[in-house]
Amino acid sequence: MDVKIYTGQAVNMGTKLINTIPFIVNNKLWRGFFDHKLVLVISVLAAVIIPWSVFKYIESKAAFLSTYSLAGKNIATADINNSINFQSLFEGGNKWLILILIQMLVVYFSNKTIEHLSGVTIHMSGKEMIQSQFRTVVIVVRNWIFELIIGIGIAIVIGIFGPDFLEEWLKFAVGCYFVGYLFIDNYNHTFAIDIKNSSTIVRRHAGAALVIGFVAKILFLLPIAGALIVSFICSVGATWYMHTSEDRHAGVEAFSD
């Protein structure tokens, strides 16, 4: 592992993210967004129906659990109700749910970035949009499992050797990497790179993935608005970074199959 290379990637990615908003504004990357009716419909339906369904499910489980006791102590219904709210959908493990929900927006802004940088027009079919959404679900499940396994490993090692404060920091860094992974994988998927080879590419750009994930996780702290900001800030920044890296592809290769 070459720390110097990963540090350079992190600095490069950080610079791209700092300049992302001017990049979006100057190049008017939002143009044509409302012409993509499928993106709009799926995004709105996902943003309304899925969070509401999950919220109601959690709320029903909370009501059920409130009638029982845990370790001899009653679970306070008031505490449960305070912790189960819409904001909870945007925190902790639910970051994975949000990453699935914003995928259509991520794809749209990523494609517009490639179009601007390469001077080509990307034609993405409805079928390819659905495939992109399905791949995101697969990657989310994969990364969620890996994050859990690595987190358990970190807890065991730190529990034996310490110091305790490192556990949360290391888990946070791992979480940042796996969140950033999705944005780089999205670029790779645009050029028909399978999950196995994409994983290798993401590992080569671990420094960049870590920075993207860090920014995304910080923005996720903003209820609802944070997810929307992540969808264009992180997707544009990651695509800009990858399209100027050694693993870039020609714009004409995007969704060429």
Structure confidence by residue, pLDDT tens digits, 95-114:
787 788 888 889 889 999 99
Residue 92 has what pLDDT? 46
How far is CA 151 from each of CA 122, 162, 164, 199, rounded to the nearest angstrom? 39, 15, 13, 19
User: Of how many residues is the chain composed?
Assistant: 257
Predicted confidence (pLDDT) per residue in 175-216, tens digit: 999 999 999 999 999 999 999 999 999 999 999 999 999 999
Distances (CA, A) of 12 to 9, 26, 62, 77, 184: 5, 20, 45, 48, 14
The residue range of the domain holding 182 is: 3-33+90-249
Residue 46: inside a domain: no
pLDDT at 91 over 70: no
Residue 82 inside a domain? The answer is: no
* 58 within some domain: no
Residue 38 lies in a domain: no
Q: Which is more confident, 49 or 204?
A: 204
Determine, yes or no, domain membership for 175: yes
**Lowest mean pLDDT across 16-20, 71-75, 199-203:** 71-75
Please count the other Cβ atoms lying within 10 Å of the Cβ belonging to residue 168: 11
Alpha carbon 148 to its chain's center = 16
| Cβ–Cβ < 8 Å for 219, 229 | yes
> How far from 202 is each of 56, 132, 192, CA to CA, in Å?
36, 17, 15
E-assigned strands of the chain?
69-70, 73-74
Position 132 in a domain: yes
Residue 205 DSSP class: T
Considering the domain boundaries, does residue 113 fall inside one?
yes
pLDDT band for position 8 (50/70/90)?
very high
Give all strands (DSSP E) within 32-164, no chain letters: 69-70, 73-74
Flag whether 221 is in a domain: yes
Least confident of 140-154, 157-171, 198-212: 157-171
pTM here is: 0.79
CA angle, 51 then 213 then 31, to 5°: 70
Answer whether 69's CB lies under 8 Å from 75's CB: yes
Q: For the chain, how many structural domains are there in total?
A: 1
